[in-house]
Amino acid sequence: MSAPDRTVAPPGGTLRPFDFPSVVRCTLPSGLDLRVAEVRRLPMVALNLFIRAGEAALGEERAGLAVLTADALEGGTKKRSGSDLAEAVERIGARISTHGGWEGTTIGLSCLAERLPEALTILSELLLDPAFPEDEVARVRDQQLATIRQRAMNPGSLATDTARARYFDPSVPYARSVDGSVASVGAATVAAMRGWVEAAFRPENGGLVVAGDVDPAEVESMVREHLGRWTGVPAVRADFTAEPASRERSVVLVHRPGAVQSELRVGHVGAPRSIPDYYPLSIANMVLGGMFTSRLNLNLREKNGFTYGVRSRFAFRSQAGPFQVSTAVGNDVTAPAVREIVRELEGIATDGPTEDEVAAARDYAAGVFGLHLQTTSQIADRVGQLVVFGLPDDHFDRYRDDVRSVTRAQAAESAARWIRPAEAQIVVVGDAEVVADPLRALELGPVEVEEG
Amino acid sequence: MTLSIPFERHRLDNGLRVILSPDRSVPVVATNLWYGVGSRNEPAGKTGFAHLFEHMMFQGSAHVPKNRHFELIERVGGSLNATTWFDRTNYFETVPSHELELTLWLESDRMGWMLPAIDQEKLDNQRDVVKNEKRQRYDNQPYGDWSERLQALVYPPEHPYHHTVIGSMEDIDAASLEDVASFFETFYVPNNAVLTIAGAIDPARALEQAKRWFGEIEPGAAVPPIPGDPELPSLIGETRRDHVVSDVPLPRVIMGFRAPPYSSDDFAVAEVARSLLGSGRASRLYRRLVRERRIAKGVVTYVYPLLSGAAMFLVWATGYPDGDPEALEAALSEEIAALARAEQAEIDRAIALLETDLVRSLERVAERADLLSMFELYFEDPDRVNRELDRLRAVQPEQVRAFTAERLGDDNRAVVVFEPGGTS
């Protein structure tokens, strides 16, 4: 055997074709959009039910109700107590999760494929006949109030929550924490949850995705049996545009005496999922802060040693979610790190990424696609995104070609449109006595100090 | 159900063990290397070094400039990382399967030719990165020092698990380039490593590629014995406590118990016991403390799979803002003691959950490769991945009861209590 040439990277083969699993789709008479992906690898199945009943449809006085209601679903049904329900789920090795988010409520289920009929029976009971026992509702309310307290005392989540409120106009739901406030959560009642389920938990505009070692026709008949009586259209709707709180750059410093590090968030209102330049913007963001070898990480971590890691992200939602750079840095380098972040935002917005950077990000996005489709849960989640954002059925079949067709000019144009450093809100959670003066000296905008 | 994850086992002339596990259902391959070195190999004054060294492994090697490793893997759409733990350090990439050889080049270059690429500037940079990691994950987090406190109670000062993986910043500051070189020469040798390749591969061809890239690396001497004294009594001998009043949002009680080491047959009993107690919402702690008594906001149980002397059985509960930590601790103690009445039906539930959790994790080639590497490095028995469930299914209720009596009593307990209060 000859010794290999170590001086150059060995050439790869060609990217192997990878077909997104084929999805059988039908709409039940009840209005439920059912999509089944047959994936016969291991004897597993994953299920993802999306109901268009989310926090974005709730006013401030009811903030957190979608999250609470989702949590309380496992508190018991008209036939079984919460403990009996948990016992029934876990005896067959299943995991059921219920989750309230901005766009809607998601119920996830994962189990051995042979257990799907039993698991579906339990899931339909939990969805259609929840009992919301008084003590269980009190429990999830107390848990959520405790979570709100934990968020306020954790520097990272405190920074994120502070930043959100600086990005969005107070009338925009995204300005608040998805968990709601002490006042709104404290006021949530059994009646409010029942009313929410009655009005919002309806199959239309949502969908059920099943992926795994299953036969699509059999799944359809099971779903008809268990969820056939579930009908209707949600009587709630998110109705707002994501207006910013301000278009003037400013700095807010939340004072935590004695903090050994500063949590940083730099961002503004981002872009909705529906923008035509979704792929160019995603590529531009990867170059900025969406990969390990992004500009931000190579600068702040590998060059300067300011941080353990830094990333930038657009939260693509039905309306524009936040665009944000997040990191945590040492006290003494807080101001230099903020300066470098702003500089990188200016660089990408003004000049765009280079040809080579765009090529690298494109290749990354196209190559990593298959890595994220190994498990039944990953596949169910992907198909679920088609439901959530109303994307075309062939979206993922075309994904690799679409992402590979992004040009440098498109990425640069997108970055210039959606990344606006002059409007950035800069949030620092750290020790004001150490970091306030250096931050002022940056002259990036007015510096406001709040007590943490 | 019975698992039959296929694999082949080989050993190169330089001692490198190679495990190959084909699965062609997705065109993805995982390359995974476990080195038999972790924080337990660090002598006094060098804590945190194994982890700092892991960072240095990404700073380039003779033929790979700094940052190129990341660039090349990301460019092909791969993911990569590494982790350091008590007993081992692992490095892994997942890439589209036609790029397997790229990962073998990168991993073999740093196994064989890392030292020529190392300089003071890179060391200083990664020292800063690691210090920021410690601040972010430990120092600037409520409860961030819990593991340091708990380990110090469960293991005596001379024991290799007494100190944390992240180590002390003074020791990190003192690390020199000579330390990096000697650590590399001592531990990063082919005879102290396992390479697993899992995914869309042709095993014969993958073996040939592994030989081609790793075969010429010289073997090293046998790895030196673990410093300090890994032997210790099976019980702590008393209840040790650490009561912390600090700037935390909620009270939290954390208990640690010495448990049979991972290599022991009794470790399976500890795993089943911890599942009965705290895995899932039908577990005893969730049902009693979270749902019925509403004294805990959340509960966690875990058994650290550790090799040297004693593993650690962990139980923790987080209370509510005005909750009394003493009452929370008493409630935990009560439920732990009640495991002395474990029933078969509970074991069945725990096994059912462990079964689907294992199958779910095996859906990813990276997890498959990681388990195969671990079982080869720790037990020279990669087929354990297919027999894990049998080990767990064999556990009888009377074994759980006996484990409770022997291991979970007052004479083998470390308790760290966090109580809200302090600076603000």
Neighboring chain B residues of A3 at a CB cutoff of 8 Å: 216
A74's tokens: 């496992």
Residue with the two structure tokens 């830094």: A310
Q: Does A18 contact B at CB distance below 8 Å?
A: yes
What's the Cα-to-Cα distance from A408 to each of A37, A274, A398, A417, B103, rounded to whole Å?
35, 21, 20, 14, 29
Eight-state DSSP code of residue A123: H
Neighboring chain A residues of B198 at a CB cutoff of 8 Å: none
CB contact under 8 A, B95 and A367: yes
Q: Give ipTM to 2 decimals.
A: 0.93
Q: Does B348 contact A at CB distance below 8 Å?
A: yes
Mean model confidence pLDDT for chain A: 96
Give me the percent of chain A exceeding a pLDDT of 70: 100
B396's tokens: 């009888």
Q: Which of A4-18, A86-100, B354-368, B394-408 has the lowest mean pLDDT?
A: A4-18
Q: Which of A9-23, B98-112, B352-366 has the lowest mean pLDDT?
A: A9-23
pLDDT for the residue numbered A16? 77
Neighboring chain A residues of B360 at a CB cutoff of 8 Å: 44, 110, 375, 377
Binning chain A into helix, strand and coil, the percentages to the nearest 5 are: 45, 20, 35
The sign of the CA dihedral A294, A296, A301, A307 is negative
Q: Does B202 contact A at CB distance below 8 Å?
A: no
Residue A137's identity, in one-letter code, is V
Neighboring chain B residues of A308 at a CB cutoff of 8 Å: 129-130, 132-133, 136-137
Give me the percent of chain B exceeding a pLDDT of 70: 100
Chain B nearest-CA residue for A298 = B67
Neighboring chain B residues of A452 at a CB cutoff of 8 Å: 424
Residue B417's identity, in one-letter code, is V
pLDDT band at B2 (very low <50, low <70, confident <90, very high): confident
pLDDT for the residue numbered B423? 54
Sequence-distant contacts of B202-207: CB under 8 A, at least 24 apart? B202/B22, B203/B8, B203/B20, B203/B22, B206/B20, B206/B100, B207/B8, B207/B10, B207/B18, B207/B20
Which tens digit of pLDDT belongs to each residue from A101-131? 999 999 999 999 999 999 999 999 999 999 9
Q: Which domains are seen in chain A, by residue range? A: 23-227 (3.30.830.10), 250-451 (3.30.830.10)
Spatial CB neighbours of A321, under 8 Å, sequence gap ≥ 6? A102, A174, A242, A270, A272, A314, A315
pLDDT for the residue numbered A12? 87
Chain A nearest-CA residue for B3 = A42
Closest CA to A320 of A406, A408, A238, A436: A238
Residue A444's identity, in one-letter code, is L
Mean pLDDT of A308-323: 97
pLDDT band at A236 (very low <50, low <70, confident <90, very high): confident
- Mark which residues 11-30 of B lie under 8 Å from A by CB: 23, 25-28
B188's tokens: 């990063």
- Mark which residues 134-193 of A lie under 8 Å from B by CB: 135-136, 138-139, 142-143, 145-147, 149-150, 152-155
A48, burial (CB in 10 Å: exposed 0-12, middle 13-18, buried 19+): buried
pLDDT for the residue numbered A18? 79
Closest CA to B102 of A9, A188, A216: A9
Neighboring chain B residues of A374 at a CB cutoff of 8 Å: 26, 28, 363-365
pLDDT for the residue numbered A1? 60
Q: Does A399 contact B at CB distance below 8 Å?
A: no
pLDDT score of B312 more than 50:
yes
B275/B259 Cα distance (integer angstroms) = 15
Instruction: Give the sheet arrangement for strand A425-430, strand by strand.
Output: A307-316, A320-330, A261-269, A425-430, A250-255, A447-451
pLDDT band at B330 (very low <50, low <70, confident <90, very high): very high
Compare CB distances from B27 to A18, A94, A363 and report the shortest one's residue. A18
Closest CA to A26 of A203, A167, A149, A182: A203
CB contact under 8 A, A3 and B128: no
B301/B291 Cα distance (integer angstroms) = 17
CB contact under 8 A, A363 and B126: no
Q: Does B343 contact A at CB distance below 8 Å?
A: no
Residue with the two structure tokens 């759409």: B77
Q: Which domains are seen in chain B, by residue range? A: 8-214 (3.30.830.10), 239-420 (3.30.830.10)
Which tens digit of pLDDT belongs to each residue from B154-200? 999 999 999 999 999 999 999 999 999 999 999 999 999 999 999 99
pLDDT band at A219 (very low <50, low <70, confident <90, very high): very high
Neighboring chain A residues of B142 at a CB cutoff of 8 Å: 150, 153-154
CB contact under 8 A, A16 and B142: no
Neighboring chain B residues of A86 at a CB cutoff of 8 Å: 280-282, 286-287
Sequential DSSP letters for B126-159: HHHHHHHHHIIIIITSTTTTHHHHHHHHHS-TTS
A222/A240 Cα distance (integer angstroms) = 38
A344/A301 Cα distance (integer angstroms) = 13
pLDDT score of B363 more than 50:
yes
The sign of the CA dihedral B113, B115, B121, B123 is positive
HSE, CB side, 13 Å, CA atoms: give it for residue A143.
22
Q: What is the pTM of this model?
A: 0.95
CB contact under 8 A, B105 and A152: no
